């Protein structure tokens, strides 16, 4: 019961949320109808707040309701169950919520729980009222997902669009050179030659030469490419699995 007391001790009327404070700035960058981006504000005075016990994935948490650990799932959000985007969402949600309490609201026409037994909720951090579901979407840690229409759908859609245009989180462009450099062949190559080529940006600027059938990449003046080498970036050569020529030893001076 101590935990509950800790949470219910934080019964404050909602003040302006941090989201609201950010709105003018956001509007300046990305013109949006103000109404479209207006997050709901509820008065949670006299409602219980529940302690967040842990964050399982970015959109699934365990909270203590009536001292019973209860799994909840955030309405309208999709976070993959594993992978880098999943890890990022979990870390973000943990920073927002671990050691905090949340108020919850339910979607009127939805079932109480999903098929795995998680309660469908909208969660609002106590005492500042941060709309957690929306914050995940707004910061690009979650995409919109819903089993059916939900009350705040158009609001979520508007914020998802802003996140997508700002290339936040899951909307960031994939760095293909960096992805290629994590492949085993490129790693072995890198380990053997830990000189100037640890910087993916540099790999994209350095030019090497490959031949039609060869598996090596070369310097411009190498004897193997004098009769028809193809110019290519070092990053692209690595991505295709080419390894450095032992004769000319690229990257080249
Ligand atoms: Zn060569």
222 CA from centroid of ligand 1 (Å):
5
Domains annotated on the chain, with CATH = 2-171 (2.40.50.90), 183-244 (no CATH)
Q: pLDDT at position 5, please? A: 53
Residue (of 54, 74, 52) closest to 121 by Cα position: 74
Can you give the chain as a three-state secondary structure string?
CHHHHHHHCCCCCCCCCHHHHHHHHHHHHCCCCHHHHCCCCCCCCCCCCEEEEEEEECCEEEEEECCEEEEEEECCEECCCCCHHHHHHHHHHHHHHCCCEEEEECCCCCCCECCCCCEEEEEEEECCCCEHHHHHHHCCCCEECCCCCCCCHHHHHHHHHHHHHCCCHHHCCCCHHHHHHCCHHHHHHHHHCCCCCCCHHHHHHCEEEECCCCCEEECCCCHHHCCCCEEEEHHHHHHCCCEECCCCCCCCC
Query: pLDDT truncated to tens, each residue of the chain (253 aa)?
Result: 444 556 754 444 444 444 444 444 444 455 555 667 888 999 999 999 999 999 999 999 999 999 899 999 999 999 988 888 999 999 999 999 999 999 999 998 888 999 899 999 999 999 999 999 999 999 999 999 877 889 999 999 999 999 999 999 889 887 655 554 454 544 444 433 333 333 455 566 778 888 888 889 998 888 888 777 888 888 888 888 889 999 988 877 6
Cα dihedral angle (193, 195, 198, 203), rounded to 10 degrees? Answer: -90
Rounded Cα–Cα distance for residues 243 and 120 (Å): 52
179 CA from centroid of ligand 1 (Å):
25
Neighbours of ion ligand 1 (CB under 5 A): 218, 222, 224, 245, 247-248
Q: pLDDT at position 32, please? A: 55
Q: For residue 50, which phi and psi values (nearest 5 degrees)?
A: -110, 135
Q: pLDDT at position 175, please? A: 61
208 CA from centroid of ligand 1 (Å):
9
176 CA from centroid of ligand 1 (Å):
25
Q: pLDDT at position 78, please? A: 93
214 CA from centroid of ligand 1 (Å):
10
């Amino acid at each position: 019961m101590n935990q509950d007391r800790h949470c219910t001790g934080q019964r404050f009327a909602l003040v302006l949320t941090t989201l609201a404070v950010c709105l003018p700035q956001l509007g300046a960058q990305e013109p949006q109808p103000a109404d479209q981006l207006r997050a709901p504000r509820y008065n949670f005075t006299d409602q219980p707040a529940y302690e967040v016990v842990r964050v399982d994935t970015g959109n699934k948490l365990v909270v203590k309701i009536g001292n019973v650990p209860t799994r909840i799932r955030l309405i309208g959000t999709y976070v993959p169950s594993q992978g880098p985007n999943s890890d990022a969402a979990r870390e973000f949600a943990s920073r927002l919520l671990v050691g905090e309490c949340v108020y919850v609201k339910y979607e009127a026409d939805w079932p109480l729980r999903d098929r795995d037994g998680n309660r469908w909720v909208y969660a609002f951090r106590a005492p500042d009222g941060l709309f957690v579901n929306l914050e995940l979407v707004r910061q690009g840690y979650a995409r919109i997902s819903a089993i059916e229409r939900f009350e705040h759908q158009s609001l979520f859609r508007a914020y998802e669009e802003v996140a997508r245009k700002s290339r936040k989180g899951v909307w960031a462009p994939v760095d293909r050179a960096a992805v290629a450099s994590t492949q085993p062949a490129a790693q072995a190559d890198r380990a053997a030659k830990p000189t100037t080529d640890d910087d993916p940006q540099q790999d994209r600027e350095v030019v090497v030469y490959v031949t039609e059938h060869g598996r090596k990449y070369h310097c411009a003046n190498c004897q193997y490419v004098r009769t028809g080498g193809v110019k290519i970036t070092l990053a692209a050569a690595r991505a295709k699995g080419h390894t450095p020529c032992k004769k000319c030893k690229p990257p080249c001076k």
